């Protein structure tokens, strides 16, 4: 029993991380039809920002330790938001309406460029921001000890999901976004300012990616190449769940998170391909992922 | 009516020049030519798929299968003859492609891309976990022989170079003809509108399937040549970034003509290797910047530069994937 | 970081230029164009690539000015200055090796951290007949797949580290019953785990394996693995994790008290003891892939190296810095020996022949090219146990294993040697 419970908790922790990483990705895809590989760069930028800020924060002993969470998360979101804004205004704006695959390649180019820019800014040495990770202590569940910071990630993911759901369904701007997601042509015909919406969506999505990076920074060494490792995982999640759907990303993340935790505990050899295995299985039965966006049938 | 097709002539001229080139080029350049052609062959497959609207983010799967077929052919089956090895690799690509093609031809758009990515990553995972196949360190490949004759190093290089050039010429011509065959034209049609094509009595699945199999076989061939050229194979051949590189090259070159794949591959390889040499700390910026610039300013790829001044619109030569569909 | 690299590069060039102006023409021999290949970008660059490059830079500069301490003397390598060419290992290393040699005209190459690169580069180095020194990659396959003429490795291979780790853990935990493994799922991780477990089981039959975890390299999130390791509750956890993955593993395992209950053997843990001092629990077994870094024995040469490194870069050298420096010194020692024998400026061929079987001094002690027909180095290898002494990270209970104890004898494959129960091993 406690065995299954610990798999469940591990799976949910991993799933929360996956969901925060992929929420921005799926949002951007849903609205803009851009499968953004540079999302990995925003993740890395967030991680570096958080690591730098935490390092700075803990050099000031007079500041309360718990404030580091806010500094870390808000700093990452802010820098990611700005990076997203610059990317959208500087490059993507000029490539609207291009084929989806072309956009994947454009953002792949951006990923390469960002990779070197990050190296210019932060160098190649590792950054650590470990203080916040141990701040919350740990809890014994069954016979296994879990870090409260990780457990809190489940809550954070829940909050991100709730905020996204609320803003998409209960606010005016969100309803406009959903109109664009569901039927872009009609939305434009009704006079929705797509230009502004795209800009905002991309910046928010990038901010979410950076938040994910910022939140993982305390548990890792922030190194070059961080973004590249993350992006394919995020792809697997959003494709499994159904591209462009926030609910899909949530379900996809839970599915993959649980599958990976189960594999690690029961069949460690499978760890390397279980994620792609889940994705392949889901696609084999549901060729467009679990939650399919409506698309107009072309006749 | 179509004008006289200059492509076969161009292929013959280009191949002859390359063959003569071997005796003029410095050693590194000959090897780079083989690298370029090997990658271009995979890209030819990517282009064939792209013409029917499918973008494979997992062509590394077949590239890797081809490479490992050569290596295992040498180590397990004790085959060293270059032609048998290449045939073996193509057969492996054909078998894998025809089986997976049954599944893959059901998928479209980004889902096709992601599913193909998943498959190649699964192969990567399996190879990385298999110590008897050298794990991630890969396997080495000894020099091939010709009809049972052992060759000196320089002769073997010459053999690989000539074989590569001639095979590439044959593949280019065959694919060029295929693109201009009814099935090839049907690819363009299904890309534009699959349902209409179905109404016209064609089977889009058949089109996708045959494109997929062709792409698999040429990718395996490319992988086999790479294996012989480098003398080494690694599971990285199936890693997603390798497949990404092939699409990168395809978009750089353009999809309007088979030869664009070779142009794209040549430019890509040149930029990459010189960027690495001249700007070891900034080669990613250069590569990424060039890619974005080409997509922004040459939406039809580098090939469109060769088409300067030609009439466009009426032939398929200028059609590329990123033209907007009409609904 | 980059600023310093540039400065050092420019200084090196200036020094080469000055050296040429100042010296009489007979001494201003052809410089050696030396390719230095390591990961200068990507996840391996921070923990391995950059320290390696700094270590090599420092030594190259000292060779060109002639300020190396004893036993080295004189400028250049047998009078030939070094012109470094840096190449990033991150892109198609096998292909770029050819370009480095044939297009950029490198006379010799030092490099390669990844075993995959080494396995692939070795046959090409042989084909192109260019002196190639592997400085960091660990796979035993390079030389076991056939003798090499042009390829050398100037540090221990991976098997040695794990045989020594097995001996060390059994010496401090003689009642060891169960083992768990946490290794990256690629060649290095798999081979490290295989050699470690086989060695332990040979030395103490009956030891069982509780769980073996193989997460993807650079995965970064190890929550589920730590749960599985906690539940398996073995006496010892072996990990060949390195760099960022190692840091992440320690950071995530420490608050969950994983290493409090089970002793961890971190074969490359030496990079983490200064940066993660608070997280590594006392009692953790730390290795450095040989005897560099924190486990380097005291010597005048070592003091010079640490001081010069500290002065030039403002930090202490981590162990990868020692090993690339070691490779450059191998070249220097061989070149000087060849020059002395022939009383002439040494050719690359003469340097290569002199290197085979050579013994030379490095900051971490004597390196002896005494395996695989004089092409594979052996050195002492040290392990220690982590302890905070006055708040400072310290390795106590340090044991140094002589090559006769942990390195397979000439002509014996390492796996065969382990499985045969280490015949002929002489341990103190």
C-alpha angle B62-B65-B69 in degrees, rounded to nearest 5: 145
The whole-chain average pLDDT of chain B stands at 85
Give the DSSP H/E element, type plus range, for residue A10: helix A2-32
* Residues found in chain C: 428
Which DSSP symbol is given to C316?
A: P
**Which DSSP string do the residues of B7-57 spell out, in sequence order?**
HHHHHHHHHHHHHHHTTTS-HHHHHHHHHHHHHHHHHHHHHHHHHTT---T
Q: Write out pLDDT tens, residues B161-190.
A: 999 999 999 999 999 989 888 888 888 888
- Determine, yes or no, domain membership for A284: no
| Whole-number Å distance between alpha carbons of A298 and A289 | 20
Q: Check residue B314 and give its pLDDT.
A: 37
Q: Check residue A296 and give its pLDDT.
A: 52
Q: How many helices (H) and strands (E) does chain B have?
A: 13, 2
User: Tokens 């599913």 appear where?
Assistant: B115
Q: Write out pLDDT tens, residues A147-180.
A: 999 999 999 999 999 999 999 888 998 888 888 8
| Whole-number Å distance between alpha carbons of C115 and C186 | 10
Neighbouring subunits of A (3+ Cβ pairs under 8 A): B, C
| Whole-number Å distance between alpha carbons of C131 and C352 | 6
User: Tokens 């990567």 appear where?
Assistant: B124
Weakest mean pLDDT among B71-75, B277-281, C186-190: B277-281
Number of Cβ atoms within 10 Å of the Cβ of C72:
18
Q: In chain C, which residues touch A (CB < 8 A)?
A: 1-2, 40-43, 45-47, 49-50, 185, 211-216, 218-221, 223-225, 227-228, 230-231, 243-244, 247-248, 251-252, 254-257, 275-276, 278-279
Q: Which of A137, A143, A264 sits opposite C224 (nearest CB)?
A: A264
- At C208, is the secondary structure helix, strand, or coil? strand
Q: Are C234 and C362 contained in the same domain?
A: no
Does the structure show a pLDDT above 50 at B307?
yes
Sign of the four-CA dihedral C337, C341, C344, C347: negative
Chain A contact for B240 (CB, 8 A cutoff): yes
Record the tokens describing residue C247, joined without a space: 């840091």
- Determine, yes or no, domain membership for C424: no
Gap from A44 CA to chain C (nearest CA, Å): 12
Q: What is the pTM of this model?
A: 0.90
Q: Check residue C25 and give its pLDDT.
A: 40
Weakest mean pLDDT among A120-129, B136-145, C368-377: B136-145
Chain A residues lying within 8 Å of C230, measured CB to CB: 143-145
Top-confidence residue, B228 or B142: B228
β-pair partners for C132 = C109, C151
- Determine, yes or no, domain membership for B70: yes
Which DSSP symbol is given to A268?
A: G
Which candidate, B112, C214, B127, B235, places its Cα nearest to that of A280? Answer: B112
Q: Check residue B106 and give its pLDDT.
A: 84
C220 and A146 within 8 Å at the Cβ level: the answer is no
Nearest residue of chain A to residue B291 (CA atoms): A109
Give the mean model confidence (pLDDT) for residues B3-31. 83
C216 and A271 within 8 Å at the Cβ level: the answer is yes
Does the structure show a pLDDT above 80 at A293?
no
Chain B contact for A110 (CB, 8 A cutoff): yes
B111 and A99 within 8 Å at the Cβ level: the answer is no
- Determine, yes or no, domain membership for C39: yes
β-pair partners for C83 = C33
| Whole-number Å distance between alpha carbons of A221 and A210 | 16
- Determine, yes or no, domain membership for B247: no
Q: Are C303 and C403 contained in the same domain?
A: no
Q: How many domains does chain B have?
A: 1
User: Tokens 């029961």 appear where?
Assistant: A266
Q: How many helices (H) and strands (E) does chain A have?
A: 12, 2
- Determine, yes or no, domain membership for B287: no
Does the structure show a pLDDT above 90 at A294?
no
Peptide bond between residue C71 and the one before it cis (omega within 30 degrees of 0): yes
Q: Check residue A65 and give its pLDDT.
A: 84
- Determine, yes or no, domain membership for C249: yes
Quote the domain boundaries for residue C312. Answer: 2-156+296-378
Chain B residues lying within 8 Å of C53, measured CB to CB: none
Q: Check residue B308 and give its pLDDT.
A: 62
Report residue B40's pLDDT band, with 50, 70 and 90 as the boundaries. very high
- Determine, yes or no, domain membership for B316: no
Which candidate, C383, C377, C379, places its Cα nearest to that of C366? Answer: C379
Q: Write out pLDDT tens, residues B203-231.
A: 888 889 999 999 999 999 999 999 999 88
Q: Are C224 and C314 contained in the same domain?
A: no
- Determine, yes or no, domain membership for C404: yes
- Determine, yes or no, domain membership for C425: no
Q: How many domains does chain C have?
A: 2
Q: Check residue B187 and give its pLDDT.
A: 85
ipTM of the complex: 0.92
Q: Are C148 and C164 contained in the same domain?
A: no
Nearest residue of chain C to residue A7 (CA atoms): C224
- Determine, yes or no, domain membership for A242: no
**Taking chain A, what is the end-to-end CA distance rounded to the nearest angstrom?**
54
Chain B contact for A196 (CB, 8 A cutoff): no
CATH of the domain at C56: 3.40.50.2300
Q: How many domains does chain A have?
A: 1
- Determine, yes or no, domain membership for B254: no
| CA distances, C246 to each of A148, C168, C271 (Å) | 21, 20, 9
Percent of chain B with pLDDT over 70: 93
Percent of chain B with pLDDT over 90: 35
Q: Check residue B318 and give its pLDDT.
A: 39
Q: Check residue A188 and give its pLDDT.
A: 81
User: Is C374 exposed, middle or buried (CB count within 10 Å of its CB: 0-12, 13-18, 19+)?
Assistant: middle
C123 and B140 within 8 Å at the Cβ level: the answer is yes
| Whole-number Å distance between alpha carbons of C132 and C124 | 10
Q: Check residue C54 and give its pLDDT.
A: 94
Quote the domain boundaries for residue A30. Answer: 24-226
Q: Which residues, other chains included, contact B29 with Cβ-Cβ below 8 Å and sequence gap of 6+?
A: none
- Determine, yes or no, domain membership for C428: no
Q: Are C115 and C64 contained in the same domain?
A: yes
Q: Write out pLDDT tens, residues A40-87.
A: 999 999 999 999 999 999 888 888 888 889 999 999 999 999 999 999
C88 and B134 within 8 Å at the Cβ level: the answer is no
Chain A residues lying within 8 Å of B324, measured CB to CB: 97
Q: Are C68 and C129 contained in the same domain?
A: yes
Q: Check residue C374 and give its pLDDT.
A: 92
> Using an 8 Å Cβ cutoff, are B189 and B258 in contact?
no
Q: Check residue B309 and give its pLDDT.
A: 55
- Determine, yes or no, domain membership for C177: yes
Taking only the tens of pLDDT, chain C with its 428 residues reads 344 444 454 444 444 444 444 444 444 678 999 999 999 888 888 888 999 999 999 999 999 999 999 889 889 998 899 999 999 998 888 888 998 999 999 999 999 998 888 988 999 999 899 999 999 998 888 888 888 999 999 999 999 999 999 999 999 999 999 999 999 988 889 999 999 999 999 999 999 999 999 998 888 899 999 999 999 999 999 999 988 899 999 999 988 989 988 999 999 998 888 888 889 989 999 999 988 888 889 999 999 999 999 999 998 898 899 999 999 999 999 999 999 998 889 999 999 999 999 999 999 899 999 999 999 999 999 999 999 998 889 999 999 999 999 999 998 999 999 999 999 888 87
- Determine, yes or no, domain membership for C47: yes
Quote the domain boundaries for residue B22. Answer: 7-239
A109 and B196 within 8 Å at the Cβ level: the answer is no
């Amino acid at each position: 029993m406690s065995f299954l419970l610990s798999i469940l908790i591990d799976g949910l922790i991993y799933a929360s991380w996956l969901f925060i990483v992929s929420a921005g990705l799926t949002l951007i895809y849903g609205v803009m039809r851009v499968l953004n590989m540079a999302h990995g760069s925003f993740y890395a930028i967030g991680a570096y920002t958080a690591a730098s800020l935490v390092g700075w924060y803990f050099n000031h002993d007079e500041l309360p330790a718990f404030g580091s969470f806010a500094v870390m998360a808000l700093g990452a979101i802010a820098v990611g938001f700005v990076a997203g804004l610059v990317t959208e205004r500087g490059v993507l704006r000029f490539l609207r309406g291009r084929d989806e695959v072309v956009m994947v390649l454009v953002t792949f180019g951006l990923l390469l460029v960002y990779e070197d820019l990050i190296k210019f800014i932060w160098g190649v040495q590792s950054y650590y921001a470990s203080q916040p990770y141990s701040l919350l202590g740990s809890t014994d569940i069954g016979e296994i000890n879990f870090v409260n910071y990780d457990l809190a990630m489940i809550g954070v993911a829940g909050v991100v999901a709730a905020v996204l759901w609320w803003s998409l369904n209960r606010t005016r701007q969100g309803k406009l976004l959903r109109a664009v997601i569901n039927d872009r042509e009609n939305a434009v015909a009704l006079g929705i300012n797509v230009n502004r919406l795209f800009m905002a969506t991309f910046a928010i999505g990038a901010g979410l990616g950076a938040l994910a990076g910022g939140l993982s920074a305390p548990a890792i060494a922030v190194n070059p190449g961080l973004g590249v490792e993350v992006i394919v995982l995020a792809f697997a999640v959003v494709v499994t769940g159904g591209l462009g759907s926030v609910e899909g990303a949530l379900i996809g993340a839970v599915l993959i998170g649980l599958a990976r935790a189960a594999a690690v505990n029961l069949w460690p050899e499978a760890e390397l391909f279980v994620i792609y295995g889940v994705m392949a299985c889901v696609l084999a039965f549901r060729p467009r992922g679990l939650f399919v966006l409506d698309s107009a049938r072309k006749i | 009516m179509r004008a006289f097709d200059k492509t076969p002539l161009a292929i013959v001229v280009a191949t002859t020049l390359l063959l003569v080139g071997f005796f003029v080029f410095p050693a590194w350049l000959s090897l780079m030519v083989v690298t370029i052609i090997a990658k271009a062959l995979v890209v030819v497959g990517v282009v064939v798929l792209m013409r029917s609207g499918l973008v494979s983010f997992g062509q590394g799967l077949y590239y890797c299968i081809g490479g490992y077929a050569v290596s295992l052919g040498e180590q397990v089956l004790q085959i060293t003859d270059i032609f048998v090895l290449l045939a073996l690799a193509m057969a492996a690509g054909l078998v894998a492609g025809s089986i997976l093609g049954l599944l893959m031809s059901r998928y479209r758009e980004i889902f096709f891309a992601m599913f193909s990515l998943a498959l190649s990553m699964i192969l990567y995972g399996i190879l990385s976990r298999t110590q008897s196949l050298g794990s991630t360190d890969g396997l080495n490949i000894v020099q091939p022989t010709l009809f049972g004759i052992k060759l000196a190093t320089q002769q073997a290089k010459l053999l690989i170079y000539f074989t590569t050039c001639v095979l590439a010429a044959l593949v280019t011509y065959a694919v060029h003809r295929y693109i201009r065959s009814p099935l090839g034209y049907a690819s363009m049609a299904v890309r534009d509108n699959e349902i209409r094509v179905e109404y016209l009595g064609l089977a889009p699945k058949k089109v996708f399937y045959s494109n997929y199999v062709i792409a698999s076989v040429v990718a395996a061939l490319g992988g086999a040549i790479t294996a012989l050229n480098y003398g080494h194979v690694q599971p990285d051949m199936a890693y997603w970034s390798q497949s990404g590189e092939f699409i990168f090259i395809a978009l750089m070159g353009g999809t309007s003509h088979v030869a664009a794949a070779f142009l794209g591959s040549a430019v890509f390889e040149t930029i990459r290797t010189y960027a690495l040499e001249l700007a070891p700390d900034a080669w990613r910026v250069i590569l990424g910047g060039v890619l974005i610039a080409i997509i922004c300013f040459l939406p039809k790829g580098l090939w469109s530069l060769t088409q300067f001044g030609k009439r466009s619109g009426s032939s398929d030569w200028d059609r590329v994937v990123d033209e907007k569909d009409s609904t | 970081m980059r600023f310093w690299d540039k400065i050092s590069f420019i200084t090196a060039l200036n020094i080469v230029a000055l050296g040429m102006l100042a010296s009489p023409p007979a001494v201003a021999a052809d410089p050696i164009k030396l390719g230095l290949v390591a990961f200068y970008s990507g996840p391996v660059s921070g923990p391995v690539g950059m320290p390696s490059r700094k270590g090599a830079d420092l030594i190259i500069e000292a060779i060109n000015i002639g300020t190396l301490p004893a036993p080295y003397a004189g400028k250049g390598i047998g009078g030939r200055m070094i012109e470094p060419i840096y190449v990033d290992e991150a892109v198609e290393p096998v292909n770029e090796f050819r370009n480095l040699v044939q297009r950029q005209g490198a006379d010799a190459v030092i490099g390669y951290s990844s075993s995959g690169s080494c396995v692939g580069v070795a046959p090409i180095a042989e084909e192109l007949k260019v002196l190639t020194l592997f400085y960091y990659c660990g796979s035993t396959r390079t030389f076991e797949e056939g003798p090499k003429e042009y390829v050398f490795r100037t540090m221990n291979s991976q098997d040695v580290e794990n045989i020594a780790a097995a001996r060390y853990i059994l010496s401090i935990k003689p009642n060891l019953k169960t083992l768990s493994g946490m290794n990256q799922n690629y060649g290095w991780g798999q081979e490290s785990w295989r050699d470690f477990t086989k060695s332990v089981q040979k030395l103490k039959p009956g030891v069982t394996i509780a769980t073996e975890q193989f997460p993807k390299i650079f995965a970064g999130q190890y929550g589920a693995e730590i749960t599985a390791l906690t539940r398996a509750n073995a006496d010892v956890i072996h990990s060949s994790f390195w760099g960022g993955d190692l840091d992440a593993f320690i950071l995530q395992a420490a608050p969950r008290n994983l290493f409090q209950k089970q002793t961890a053997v971190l074969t490359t843990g030496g990079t983490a003891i200064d940066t993660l001092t608070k997280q590594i629990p006392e009692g953790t077994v730390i290795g450095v892939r040989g005897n560099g870094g924190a486990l380097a024995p005291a010597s005048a040469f070592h003091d010079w190296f640490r001081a010069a490194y500290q002065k030039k870069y403002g930090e202490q050298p981590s162990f990868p810095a020692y090993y690339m420096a070691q490779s450059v010194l191998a070249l220097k020692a061989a070149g000087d020996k060849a020059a002395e024998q022939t009383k002439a400026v040494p050719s690359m061929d003469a340097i290569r022949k002199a290197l085979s079987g050579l013994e030379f001094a490095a900051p971490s002690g004597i390196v002896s090219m005494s395996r695989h027909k004089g092409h594979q180095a052996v050195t002492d290898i040290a392990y220690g146990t982590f302890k905070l002494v006055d708040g400072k990270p310290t390795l106590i209970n340090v044991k140094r294993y002589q090559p006769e104890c942990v390195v397979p004898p000439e002509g014996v494959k390492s796996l065969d040697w382990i499985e045969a129960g280490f015949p002929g091993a002489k341990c103190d």
